[in-house]
Chains A and B, each alone.
Chain A
Amino acid sequence: MTLARPVLPPLPPRGRRWGLLIGVAIVVAVIAYLAFSSVGNALVYYLTPTELLARGPAEVGKTERLGGLVKVGTISGEAPELTFVLTDGTTEISVHAATAPTRSFREGIGAVVEGELGADGVFEASQVIVKHDENYVAPSQGGLPTRAFDPGS
């Protein structure tokens, strides 16, 4: 390859840089502080059904968050009598929700519920948070196909 080499300019004096660098450093520090100082509190932790049941009867009556997939074919009723099953693939827990779920609640979707596990093994949810819309995720077992058509089976 024969390519013209551009003429390099002399290096600039460094004096002026400091004022700008200090300004930039302050901005970066503020952003980093904003981001890191509060992320721990902002995290919404949740247990999977397996983890919740593994904690045993001591869990009954304690406020927890439970996360899992809404099992296909288990949704019935409307809030305040909405019930469905949350699964993590190995363990399932029935959920009874008193309030209407947010946004695009439907079967096969990931959801986090807040509430407490009752003595009867049903999770009484005061809040149902639907995780992000999973339109673009390929179906896993139980996700698709649904009732209307079952390709390949």
Chain B
Amino acid sequence: MIPTLGHLAVVIGLAATVYAAGAFILGGRSGDAAVLASARRAMYAAFALVAFACFAMVVSLLSHDFSVLYVARNNATTTPPFYSVISLWAALEGSILFWTLLASGWASLVLYRYRARLPALMPWVGATLALGTAFFFAVMAWPSDPFVRVTPIGLEGNGPNALLQNHPFMGLHPPLLYLGYTGMAIPFAFGMAALITRRTDEEWLAVVRRWTLVPWIFLTAGIVAGAWWSYAVLGWGGYWAWDPVENAALLPWLTATAFIHSSMVAERRGTLRTWTHALVIATFVLTLVGTFLTRSGVVNSVHAFTTSGIGAWFASAILVTLGVALALLVWRLPDLRDRRPPGAVVSRESAFVFNNVLFLGVTFAILFGTLYPVLVEATTGAKASVGAPWFNRVNAPIFVALLFLTGVGPALPWGGASWATVRERFAVPILSGVGVVVAAWALGVRDAAPLGIFGLATFVLVVMGDEVVRGAHSRARSRGETAPLAVLRLATRNRRRYGGYLAHVGICVMAVAIAVSATLGIDRTATLAEGETLSIGPYTLTYDKLVTEPLASDPRVIETRAELTLAGPQSGHMATALRDYPNSATAIATPVVRTALGEDLYVTLLGYNPDARTATLRIFINPLVMWIWTGGAIVAFGALFAIWPDRRRTAVAAAVAGA
């Protein structure tokens, strides 16, 4: 009964979104307020309907209703309730359902907030969002129906994918990522509306900037949380492998980040306007490409591995979106002409241009590396894959150049900089950077990557620190404020600028942590007998015994763990395990990680011999890894700080509007 209602909700939701799209277009042309209001209500209804469909799926999962194929494949009677609920997004059909929930949720939020504002733009924003949501409803109505039933009904289901039920992080990382992905439809909708109505002005830019940053924060958090999940669950000691799914999440993040930067130039200087528009389109199209790559099996396929029909649907959606958006853009090119001559080569806007070229360059490189095996297979028939070393070799220099620009951009004046300014602004930061490199060398760091990143990060941080000190100093002098108060006021009165600086601090922290953890770690594999002791770095590890027993939370899962005693900087007992899930032929690693500010001790059980009681352990000492997650959090917090509504400015705007 409940699954049937869920299916019905999907079908009615499709009708509601199609109606909304039509009504928005008609209302946009005629300006009829009643038609537009009905279109908005249809979108709210679609959100309520898909929310009900998700509820129906969660109820089916929690009640282990194996008459639903999705439940039979992804749930078992012993699945703990938490993992039953998050199984909503653990496989293809459910994830599309959840995706539609978020997409229509974003659409409803935007339509509600702007119901009385931007009257010329909003009908077209609504039409674009309604069409996008309708597409996902259609995917659920035809090729990827989450409520397909089976007979005869089995007594037991297959259970969730073992990897996905091994860590509670699965409850956090996909929703964050999906919120970021689906939210990128909002700037695209505003972009289309602006091109249709020819209102590509600063007011539009301010709205789009804000609504790009909102999903961008989720996307950033989702990518970092995904890296963390990979580190904590997969037991390989690393956090980023350049595999297609990771790349798919990174691509729209890169173009959205490029947009956040270029939109500042477009807003302040009236240049790069076509480019900025193209980035909005590219970001949305890349979210579709990412979905296509990860859901259709194109990239992963070793052989004809996909039987799902959604590949063709997504490919068509990508082509139609790209075609329509580019045609609109070309048609409106005369409106997007630059309003001012471009800046000198050494100026803030040129720094932004180079920033954007680099972001686009890295986007193309990653897209190329991800798709190259597909191209090779299509043209020569040979099967191939591009490995992580290639991605590192190509992308590392680009990211280093971007880090350099992070320091250069904010300190250069708009328009052009004289040699004297350049010398005054950069002499101290460059000397500080060189000083840190020399100091690190003296302390024994010999690898080029960490040395270079130490120097660059110092350069960037000193440039920003100098900016803050200058601003605070002049504020403290002119208003008689104390230094800390002046810094706080300066930041809260210029949220965008100082939020951006904070995000850059986070990037520096991440860059240092990545460079150090990638080069200065220790990785050892050893087979130990019970009672044997191993020394690695400052730690002494004793393998006490092997224990095999069912898991308390799910007795179908058999855990074999090696119990260890640790002595050294962090002492105590710990255990690293392999878990046998009934629906997985190989055991799933459950690594143990001891995190400290300086380094992580990471132990994973590779294998064991139940007769000899030996355990093969892989032990990593990963320096600074927790600073990657911390840096990501700082980036997200900086962006949040930047878009946080400014009470004073809102009050002034309200007063102006009311007068």
Most B Cβ at <10 Å: residue of A6, A24, A78, A149: A149
Nearest-neighbour CB distance to chain B for A101, whole angstroms, equals: 8
A69 touches B303 (CB 8 A): yes
With CB as the reference atom, state the residue of chain A lying closest to B366: A35
Judged by a CB distance under 8 angstroms, whether A58 is at the interface is no
CB distance from A107 to the nearest CB of B (A): 4
With A16-B342, A34-B393 in contact, do A69 and B302 touch (Cβ < 8 Å)?
A: yes
B357 touches A112 (CB 8 A): no
Q: How far is the CA of A134 from the CA of B389 in the complex (A)?
A: 22
B561 at the interface (CB under 8 A from A): no
- State whether B344 touches A16 (Cβ < 8 A): yes
B166 to chain A, nearest CB (A): 10
Q: Is A146 an interface residue (CB 8 A)?
A: yes
Among residues of A, the one whose C-beta sits closest to the C-beta of B247 is A132
Q: Which residues of B contact A75 (CB under 8 A)?
A: 585-586
Q: Mark A8-38, 1 if CB is under 8 A from B, else 0.
A: 1101110011011001100110110011001
Please report the total number of A residues contacting B with Cβ < 8 Å: 71
CA distance A100 to B526 in the complex (A): 13
Known: A27-B357, A43-B386, A45-B382. A134 touches B365 (CB 8 A): no
A68 is an interface residue with CB less than 8 A from chain B: yes
Pairwise interchain contact B307-A140, C-beta atoms closer than 8 A: yes
Q: Which residue of A lies closest to B389 (CB)?
A: A42
B387→A44 contact, CB < 8 A:
yes
Q: At the interface, yes or no: A5 with Cβ under 8 Å from chain B?
A: yes
> Which listed segment binds A: B151-159, B464-472, B595-603?
B151-159
Chain A residues closer than 8 Å to B382, beta-carbon distance: 45
Proximity bits, B608-620, A CB within 8 Å = 1, else 0: 1000000010000
Is there an interface contact between B300 and A134, defined as CB atoms closer than 8 Å?
Answer: yes
How far is A72 from B361 in the complex, measured between Cα atoms in Å?
A: 41
Which of chain B's residues have a CB closer than 8 A to the CB of A20? 342-343, 345, 350, 353
Contact B585 A107 (CB under 8 A): yes
User: Does A78 contact B607, Cβ atoms closer than 8 Å?
Assistant: yes
A78 vs B302: C-alpha distance when bound (angstroms): 24
Docked CA distance A110–B304 (Å): 11
**A24–B357 CB distance below 8 A:** yes
A136 touches B72 (CB 8 A): no
Contact B340 A68 (CB under 8 A): no
Assembly CA distance A103 to B341 (angstroms):
53
Interface residues of B in 179-222 (CB under 8 A from A): 197-198, 200-201
Contacts of B235 in A (CB 8 A): 103
Which one of A13, A19, A30, A137 contacts B300 once the chains associate, using CB atoms below 8 Å? Answer: A137
With the chains together, A20 CA to B333 CA distance in Å?
A: 21
Are A31 and B302 in contact, with the CB atoms below 8 A?
no
Q: Are B585 and A44 in contact (CB under 8 A)?
A: no
- Chain B CB within 8 A of A118 CB: no
Contact A35 B303 (CB under 8 A): no
Assess the A132–B300 pair: CB atoms within 8 A.
yes
In the complex, the answer to whether A38 meets B66 with C-beta atoms within 8 Å is no
A110→B73 contact, CB < 8 A: no
Q: In whole angstroms, what is the CA distance A24 to B355 when docked?
A: 10
The residue of chain B having its C-beta at the shortest distance from the C-beta of A110 within the complex is B302
CB contact between B90 and one of A38, A45, A135 (< 8 Å): that residue: A135
A contact residues around B73 at 8 Å (CB)? 144-145, 151
Taking CB atoms and an 8 Å cut-off, the chain B residues in 68-103 that contact chain A are 69, 72-73, 76, 90-92, 95
Q: Is the CB of B150 within 8 A of A152?
A: yes
Are A19 and B344 CB-contacts (below 8 A) given A24-B353, A67-B302?
yes
Given A13-B341, A138-B307, A146-B583, answer yes or no on A44-B393 (Cβ-Cβ < 8 Å): no
User: Would you call B658 an interface residue if the criterion is a C-beta within 8 Å of the partner chain's C-beta atoms?
Assistant: no
Q: Residue of A at shortest CB range from B96? A: A136
Contact of A8 with B337 in the complex, beta carbons under 8 Å = yes
Residues of A within 8 Å of B244, CB to CB, are 132
Judge if B339 is at the interface, Cβ distance under 8 Å.
Answer: yes
Interface residues of B in 15-34 (CB under 8 A from A): 29
B354 contacts partner chain A, Cβ-Cβ < 8 Å: yes
Whether the Cβ atoms of B150 and A43 lie closer than 8 Å is no
Which residues on B sit within 8 Å (CB–CB) of A88?
302-303
Residues of B within 8 A of A134 (CB): 297, 300, 305
Q: Are the CB atoms of A23 and B158 closer together than 8 Å?
A: no
CB-CB under 8 A from B640, the residues of chain A are: none
In the complex, what residues of A have CB within 8 A of residue B353's CB? 20, 24
User: Are B300's CB and A102's CB within 8 A?
Assistant: no
How far apart are A22's CB and chain B's nearest CB, in angstroms? 8
Bound CA span A135–B340, Å: 50
Partner of B354, one of A5, A27, A137, A150: A27
User: Closest CB of chain B to A29's CB: distance in Å?
Assistant: 10
Q: CB-CB contacts of B291-327 with A at 8 A, as 1s and 0s?
A: 0001101011111111110000000000000000000
Check: A54 CB closer than 8 A to any chain B CB.
no
Least CB distance from B297 to A in Å reads 4
Residues of A participating in the B interface, judged by any CB pair closer than 8 Å: 1, 3, 5-6, 8-9, 11-13, 16-17, 19-20, 23-24, 27-28, 30-31, 34-35, 38-39, 41-48, 67-69, 72-73, 75, 78-79, 88-89, 100-107, 110, 112, 131-140, 143-152
- Jot down 16 A-B pairs with beta carbons below 8 A, ordered by A: A1-B29, A6-B200, A9-B338, A9-B339, A12-B340, A28-B357, A31-B365, A42-B387, A69-B302, A78-B607, A107-B586, A110-B301, A137-B308, A138-B307, A146-B583, A150-B154
Known contacts A39-B390, A132-B245; 17 additional CB pairs below 8 A are A8-B335, A9-B337, A9-B338, A20-B342, A23-B350, A27-B401, A28-B357, A38-B394, A44-B386, A45-B383, A105-B586, A136-B295, A137-B297, A147-B582, A148-B156, A149-B72, A149-B156
Which 10 residue pairs spanning A and B have beta carbons closest together?
Answer: A42-B390, A138-B308, A12-B341, A31-B361, A110-B302, A19-B345, A132-B243, A107-B585, A78-B607, A151-B150
